[in-house]
């Protein structure tokens, strides 16, 4: 009698048997498991950073309580000259905008005797 040697895994490797097993290499496991996990973590981190940056930008845009005082407009005063007195910074445009917003001013000349609310700029 002759004996035929059959490998133990020969039956599993035949097509159509339904019992074959897929063996992944280290690189294959990384591609099918590790890469999706890394991409999901990166997407989650990006979403958190976007939400935090929007919250920070919104918090900075909210008006800060500001100390103000009143000034009386004299002959020849303009918003620019008043802004320059209140805040002698090189560029008074921001101060002019703040004064106009605080007083709901429309473009046009100021009237002598008019009272304006102006910001108090603290040096710090």
Least confident of 13-17, 42-46, 56-60: 56-60
Whether pLDDT at 14 is above 90: no
Share of residues in the chain with pLDDT > 90 (%): 22
Q: What span, in angstroms and rounded, lies between the C-alpha atoms of 70 and 95?
A: 14
Average pLDDT over residues 27-55: 87
Average pLDDT over residues 25-44: 90
Name the pTM for this structure: 0.46
Residue with tokens 């009272």: 115
Contact 73, 116 (CB under 8 A): yes
Q: Which of 95, 90, 70, 67 is nearest to 80 (CA)?
A: 95
- The superfamily CATH assigns to domain 68-119 is LysM domain (3.10.350.10)
Residue 2's pLDDT band (boundaries 50, 70, 90)?
A: low
């Amino acid at each position: 009698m002759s004996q035929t040697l059959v490998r133990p895994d020969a039956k599993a490797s035949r097509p159509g048997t339904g019992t074959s097993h897929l063996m992944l290499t280290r690189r294959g496991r990384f591609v099918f498991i590790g890469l999706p996990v890394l991409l999901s973590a990166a997407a989650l981190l990006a979403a958190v950073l976007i939400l935090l940056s929007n919250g920070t930008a919104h918090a900075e845009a909210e008006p800060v309580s500001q100390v103000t005082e009143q000034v009386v407009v004299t002959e020849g005063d303009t918003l620019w000259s008043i802004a320059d007195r209140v805040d002698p910074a090189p560029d008074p445009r921001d101060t002019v905008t703040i004064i106009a917003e605080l007083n709901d001013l429309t473009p046009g000349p100021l009237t002598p005797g008019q009272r304006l609310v102006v910001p108090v700029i603290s040096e710090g």
